[in-house]
A and B are shown apart, each in its own frame.
Chain A
C-alpha cells in the first residue's frame, strides 16, 4: 500500500468523498430515482433494449477506451462482460494510470494491478496502459496520436469511449471529457472504416444493454479496484452500481441495464 507523502489532511479526498456520498444518497431516494430515470429514458425503450441485444450477442473486435483504470468496469462493465461471454475479443486501452490522489504518493502500480485483476474477471483479451498523466489528458499533446494509433492497431468493429457530454452536467472528470472529445475528432476521419462508436456514461442513451445476468460479475470487477473504495465503501459502491443499473433500465423491462449512445 502506498504511503502518505505528507501528514496534512487530504482536502481533495474529503471533498470528493462528500460529493459522491451526497450524490449516492440523493439518488437512493425513490422519487429522485424515478425522475432521473424518466429524464434519461430513451425515446423507444423496447427497441433500445433489442438493439443492445444485437450488440452483445455476436462476437466482434472491441476497442474499449478509458481514462482511468476503474471507469470501464463502472460505466460499461456489464456490456463488456456480456460481449466477452459471446466470444468478442476485447482490447482495453487505459490512457492514464490514475496515479494521483491528494497527498498520496504514486498509485500507478497498485491501480494497474487492480486493472489486471478486473480484466481477468471480465475476460478482456489485452489491457494496454499508455501512462499519460492523470488529470492532465486535456493538455497532453500525445493523446490524439495515441488514440489514433490504438484505433488503427486494433482495427475495431466496435469502439467504446466516454461521452464528452457528461453524465451529470458540469461534474465530469476533465480527463473523461477530453477523451470523449478526442474520440469524436478521431472518429470523424474514420467514418468509412465501418466501425461503430458507442459512448458510455451518457445522459441520453439510445441503446440499452440488459446486464441483469452478469450483475454479480460486474460488481466483482468494480470492487476489484480496492484502492477506489475510499470515496464510497464497498457496500455503498455495490449500491451505487445497482442504482445506476436501475436508473438506466427505467421502464424498459430489464432489471439492470447500461445505457450507450450510438454515435455512428
Chain B
C-alpha cells in the first residue's frame, strides 16, 4: 500500500522538476492580462489562489471569472448572495477583479451556452494568459462534471487561443509541467480560502492544515515549501 502510494506520487511529479519550477517563475513574473476561470466560487482560490495573488503583485491585471454561484452547495435560503459576497471578499484579498456569471450550478455542460459565455469573457478581457480547470482533473475518479465541462470547453478553444499567442494553463493538474512557488503568499491564499466561510466546517486551523498539505503534494523534488501545479499547453 505504501509502495503503491509512493509510486503514485512519483508518477505525479513533473518530468523535469527544476525546469517546471523555472517555468512557474517565468509564468508569474511577466506582466499581462490574466483571465482565470473557475466553475464555482472557491475553486480558483483553492487551486490557484497563490498564483493569482503573485500575478497581481507583479503587476498583471487579473480577472477571476466564476461561472456559477454555487447555489446547490446547501439548502440555505440566500446561499447565492452569501457565496457571491464571499467570492468578492476573496477576490479583494487576491487583488483580482471578480466577474460573477450565472450558469446553473451542477449543470454546466459543454454546449452553446458555455461557448457563448466563454466568448463574452474573451471579448471582455482580451486575455494573454488563461487559467482553467484541467479537463483530466486532480484525481482519476470522482470528478465534478462542471469542472470537466469547463476544462473541455477551454481545451476545444485552445488551438485558436495558442495561435493568437495566448498562453493556456490548467490548474488542479494531475501531471503538471509547471510548478509555481507560492510560499511567500501562502498567508493570503489561506485567508482567501477562509473567506468562503459557508463552505468550511470545523476550526480554521483544520482548513489551513489541509490546504498546506495539498500545497506540499508537488514539492517533493523542488526547493519550494508550497507550490501550485499547472499543466501548460505548449
| Chains A and B are bound partners | yes
Residues of A at under 8 Å CB distance from B? 43-44, 47-48, 50-51, 54, 165, 184, 188, 191, 204, 206-207, 261-264
Say whether B16 faces chain A, with CB atoms less than 8 Å apart: yes
Chain A's nearest CB lies how many Å from the CB of B132?
A: 13
Say whether B230 faces chain A, with CB atoms less than 8 Å apart: no
Say whether B175 faces chain A, with CB atoms less than 8 Å apart: yes
Question: Among A43, A50, A165, A261, which residue has its beta carbon within 8 angstroms of that of B136?
Answer: A43
Asked if A204 meets B15 with Cβ closer than 8 Å, knowing A47-B155, A47-B233, the reply is: yes
Please name all residues of chain A whose beta carbon is closer than 8 Å to the beta carbon of B23 when the two chains form the complex: 264
| Distance A173 CA – B84 CA, assembled complex (angstroms) | 58
B234 touches A262 (CB 8 A): yes
* CB < 8 Å A-B pair total: 33
Chain A's nearest CB lies how many Å from the CB of B165?
A: 12
Chain A's nearest CB lies how many Å from the CB of B14?
A: 9
Chain B's nearest CB lies how many Å from the CB of A119?
A: 28
Please name all residues of chain A whose beta carbon is closer than 8 Å to the beta carbon of B60 when the two chains form the complex: none
A44 touches B16 (CB 8 A): no
Please name all residues of chain B whose beta carbon is closer than 8 Å to the beta carbon of A44 when the two chains form the complex: 155, 233
Fill in one digit per residue for B36-56: 1 if any A CB lies within 8 Å of its CB, else 0. Answer: 000000000000000000000
A51 touches B16 (CB 8 A): no
B159 touches A50 (CB 8 A): yes
Q: In B201-234, which residues have CB < 8 Å from any A CB?
A: 231, 233-234
Please name all residues of chain A whose beta carbon is closer than 8 Å to the beta carbon of B19 when the two chains form the complex: 184, 263-264
Which partner residue on chain B sits nearest A55 by CB separation? B234
Fill in one digit per residue for B1-42: 1 if any A CB lies within 8 Å of its CB, else 0. Answer: 000000000000001100100110010000000000000000
Chain B's nearest CB lies how many Å from the CB of A160?
A: 15
| Distance A207 CA – B162 CA, assembled complex (angstroms) | 14
Q: In B150-164, which residues have CB < 8 Å from any A CB?
A: 155, 158-159, 162-163
| Distance A264 CA – B18 CA, assembled complex (angstroms) | 12
| Distance A50 CA – B168 CA, assembled complex (angstroms) | 15
Chain B's nearest CB lies how many Å from the CB of A163?
A: 9
Which partner residue on chain B sits nearest A188 by CB separation? B22
Please name all residues of chain B whose beta carbon is closer than 8 Å to the beta carbon of A264 when the two chains form the complex: 19, 23
Question: Among B15, B158, B175, B233, which residue has its beta carbon within 8 angstroms of that of A165?
Answer: B15
Say whether B63 faces chain A, with CB atoms less than 8 Å apart: no
A43 touches B15 (CB 8 A): no
Say whether B68 faces chain A, with CB atoms less than 8 Å apart: no
Question: Among B22, B26, B158, B234, which residue has its beta carbon within 8 angstroms of that of A207?
Answer: B234
Chain B's nearest CB lies how many Å from the CB of A187?
A: 9
| Distance A54 CA – B158 CA, assembled complex (angstroms) | 14
| Distance A156 CA – B19 CA, assembled complex (angstroms) | 20
Enumerate 15 A-B pairs (CB-CB under 8 Å) in ascending A order: A44-B233, A47-B158, A48-B234, A50-B159, A54-B163, A184-B16, A184-B19, A188-B22, A204-B15, A206-B234, A261-B15, A262-B234, A263-B16, A263-B19, A264-B23
User: How many residues of chain B are within 8 Å of chain A by beta carbon?
Assistant: 17
Please name all residues of chain B whose beta carbon is closer than 8 Å to the beta carbon of A206 when the two chains form the complex: 177, 234
Please name all residues of chain B whose beta carbon is closer than 8 Å to the beta carbon of A207 when the two chains form the complex: 234
Chain B's nearest CB lies how many Å from the CB of A189?
A: 12
Please name all residues of chain A whose beta carbon is closer than 8 Å to the beta carbon of B158 when the two chains form the complex: 47
B175 touches A43 (CB 8 A): yes
B175 touches A51 (CB 8 A): no
Please name all residues of chain B whose beta carbon is closer than 8 Å to the beta carbon of A261 when the two chains form the complex: 15
Please name all residues of chain B whose beta carbon is closer than 8 Å to the beta carbon of A47 when the two chains form the complex: 155, 158-159, 162, 233
A43 touches B231 (CB 8 A): yes
| Distance A50 CA – B177 CA, assembled complex (angstroms) | 19
| Distance A185 CA – B116 CA, assembled complex (angstroms) | 46
Q: In B97-152, which residues have CB < 8 Å from any A CB?
A: 136
Which partner residue on chain A sits nearest B177 by CB separation? A206
Chain A's nearest CB lies how many Å from the CB of B142?
A: 19
Asked if A51 meets B136 with Cβ closer than 8 Å, knowing A43-B175, A204-B15, A264-B19, the reply is: no
| Distance A207 CA – B234 CA, assembled complex (angstroms) | 8
| Distance A221 CA – B159 CA, assembled complex (angstroms) | 33
B16, B163, B234 — most chain A CB neighbours (10 Å): B234
| Distance A55 CA – B146 CA, assembled complex (angstroms) | 34
Chain B's nearest CB lies how many Å from the CB of A252?
A: 14
| Distance A207 CA – B136 CA, assembled complex (angstroms) | 18
Please name all residues of chain B whose beta carbon is closer than 8 Å to the beta carbon of A184 when the two chains form the complex: 16, 19
| Distance A165 CA – B16 CA, assembled complex (angstroms) | 9
Please name all residues of chain B whose beta carbon is closer than 8 Å to the beta carbon of A54 when the two chains form the complex: 163
